[in-house]
Every structure is written in C-alpha cells, then in structure tokens.
Amino acid sequence: MPNYFVVAAWLLVLLPPSVMLSTVAADDGFSMHEIEMIEQSQFREAVTGDLAKFASHARESSTSSTDDEWHLLPDGLLWRSYLAAPQEPRISTVIFSDNNDGVFWDATLGGRVGLLRYGTAGAVRPSGWQWDIEGAVMTRLDLLHAEDVESMDYRFGSEITAAEGLWEMKLGYFHISSHVGDEYLVRNPTFTRINYVTESWIVGGSYHPSDDMRLYGEFVNSFHAAGGAKRYQFQTGAEYTAVAKSLDLGAPFAAVNLNFREAVDYDVAVTLQIGWSFQGPVSGRRLRLGAQYSDGPTNQFSFFTRRESHLGLGVWFDY
C-alpha cells in the first residue's frame, strides 16, 4: 500500500497542472474549453499571480528609496572594504614577485554581507544603520615550490555600520588567527611556529569629498593578543574610482592604504593599486583588474616580523 502513495506523490510533482486538471475534469464531465478556463482562472491566479506580486515587490525593494524602513537581508552595504587593504574580506587573487626573488600567489576568499538595515533601500549610496557580518581566508602560495601553501590568515567579524550623506562609520569586532602551511613546515623543519591571534574592537570612519573620492581611517584595539601580536593598530588611506561614462567600458581606479601596527613598532606597510574597474549599477559590487605594489611588514601575520617589497598583478571582486 505505501508504494501507491509514493507513485501518487511523484505524479503530483512531475505532471503539469493541465494534465492533472484534464484528468479530474474529464471524470466530472467538463469540456476541454471549460478545463482551460479552470486552469487559467484558478491555477494561474493562485500561483502565477502570487509570483508576479513577489517579483514586483522584489523590484521595488531593489530600487533606492528615500524612506527609512526596516530591511531584512538588505541589498548592498553601507560600509565597503578598503580597495588597497590586503586583509579586507573580498574575493581576490594577486601574483607577484618580491625583493628576495620569490614568486607568490596571494588568494583571498571571503565577503561582507548585511543582515539587517534600518534606512533607505537599495545598494547604491543608501543611508541608515546596518548590521553586517564578514569573513575571509587570506592564503599565500609559493609558486617556485610546487604552489605549496606558505601561510593562511583567517578573519571573522561583525559590525554595526552607518551612512549619511558624505559620511560613513563602523563599530564592531573581528578575529584574526594565522597559520603556517604544512608544506612550508616540511621544507623548513627548524621554523618555530607562532600562534598569532587577535580579538579586537574596531572603529572607523570615511568621507567622500566627491563622487569619485573616498578618504578613510580606522583604529583597532585588541583586547586579546597572542603570538607576538600587540594591542593597537591604525589604518588609513584614499581611493579614487572614476565614474564610468559607459558601464560596459568601465573606468580607472587608484588606491593607497597605510597600515601601522604596534607589533612591528608602527613600521608602516604601504600598498598601492592602480587599474581598471567595472561596477554593477544596481548591486554596487565592483570588479577590478590592475597592478599592486607593497612595501613594509608582510601582511601574512605568521611571519609578521618579515619585511618585504613586491610588485604584481591582481584581480579583485569587492562587495
């Protein structure tokens, strides 16, 4: 007996509504014209009509509005990752050579998303308050040694962000932990691994003097630090993202980031980027291609005392 119920359930899932209506209506003596009227007036009104309302609501929610409202899982962000900061959550890949004749591949897999917003709708320059979560893993591969994993930094955090007019701010928490690759430890048996870990409060602000410029700064206070990490960190920078005349052609971008950490006696780590970018007109997300130059303490914290200079090419996807 249970097998008949299984067959009947599969038929309900697989058969088109018109076939099921035809079978039922034929048994009740309805004509084919009446069957079509039943399908259109009942099935389509009940299913397709609701889908149309849902699609209409989605289109209205995705467009910008000047009204402050609550938005669950909102489109876009009020605070975006710094373009030239290597430890920000995004998807990216950079291949570079350093001043020690090494060739490396830095790959980041991560992102930042909004959970809840009170403010205007849309992803392009919205205003209000928003709760975000972020996460990323920043991995370095050694291309001269069979693409061995040299090290990985893991980041996770949650922030309250806000935007109004030309100003933006964030306040939150993030975790960093650094790990050395197994292959690197095999090739360097005398290397002493450190457990570089921070648990930090963070506060930051940014200002847009024009539509294509952004200035920013942030302060980090680590209430727990281990493995050589210390309490304070300061980061600042500037970004230029030209407004594209054509969405298909994109526009140039340039960015500089300066990072000062107490763990390296505030020796500045400089990162410069220049290239071409494409930005989604609705999502606000950005795809960038360009060159990167870095000089100063490494951004792989398992080797935080190492100083390096490198030049390379990269692709970045920013949320």
Report the share of the chain in percent with pLDDT over 90.
75
Can you tell me the distance from the alpha carbon of 157 to that of 191, in angstroms, rounded to the nearest whole number? 30
pLDDT of residue 233: 98
Beta bridge partners of 163: 128, 168
**Residues with Cβ < 8 Å from 146, sequence gap 6 or more?**
183
Backbone angles phi, psi at 13, to 5 degrees: -80, -40
Please, are residues 151 and 187 in contact by the beta-carbon 8 Å criterion? no
pLDDT of residue 246: 83
95, 109, 243, 280 from 317: Cα distances, Å = 15, 10, 17, 11
Please, are residues 281 and 43 in contact by the beta-carbon 8 Å criterion? no
pLDDT of residue 10: 46
Identify how many contiguous H helices and E strands the chain contains and give both numbers.
Answer: 6, 13
pLDDT of residue 33: 56
pLDDT in tens, 148-175: 999 999 999 999 999 999 999 999 999 9
Q: Structure pTM?
A: 0.80
Can you tell me the distance from the alpha carbon of 90 to that of 155, in angstroms, rounded to the nearest whole number? 11
pLDDT, mean of residues 1-10: 44
The rounded mean pLDDT for the chain is 86
Quick one: pLDDT band at residue 40, thresholds 50, 70, 90?
A: low
Q: How many CB atoms lie within 10 A of CB 130?
A: 24
Quick one: pLDDT band at residue 14, thresholds 50, 70, 90?
A: very low
Pairing of strands 213-226, 269-279: unpaired
- Locate 172 and state its tokens: 């939150």
pLDDT in tens, 244-299: 988 889 999 999 999 999 999 999 999 999 999 999 999 999 999 999 999 999 99
pLDDT above 70 (res 60):
no
Please, are residues 75 and 302 in contact by the beta-carbon 8 Å criterion? no
Of 19-33, 50-64, 70-84, the range with the highest mean pLDDT is: 70-84
Which amino acid belongs to residue 111?
Answer: G
Quick one: pLDDT band at residue 32, thresholds 50, 70, 90?
A: low
Residue written as token pair 């998303």: 113
Beta bridge partners of 27: none
Can you tell me the distance from the alpha carbon of 90 to that of 108, in angstroms, rounded to the nearest whole number? 7
Report the share of the chain in percent with pLDDT over 70.
80
Can you tell me the distance from the alpha carbon of 261 to that of 120, in angstroms, rounded to the nearest whole number? 36
DSSP reduced 3-state for 212 = coil
Please, are residues 170 and 202 in contact by the beta-carbon 8 Å criterion? yes
pLDDT above 90 (res 92):
yes
165, 168, 211 from 208: Cα distances, Å = 9, 9, 7
Pairing of strands 251-261, 167-180: unpaired
**Where do the domains of the chain lie, and which CATH numbers do they carry?**
2-46 (no CATH), 69-318 (2.40.230.10)
pLDDT of residue 67: 87
pLDDT, mean of residues 15-27: 46
Candidate from 59-63, 293-297, 302-306 with smallest mean pLDDT: 59-63
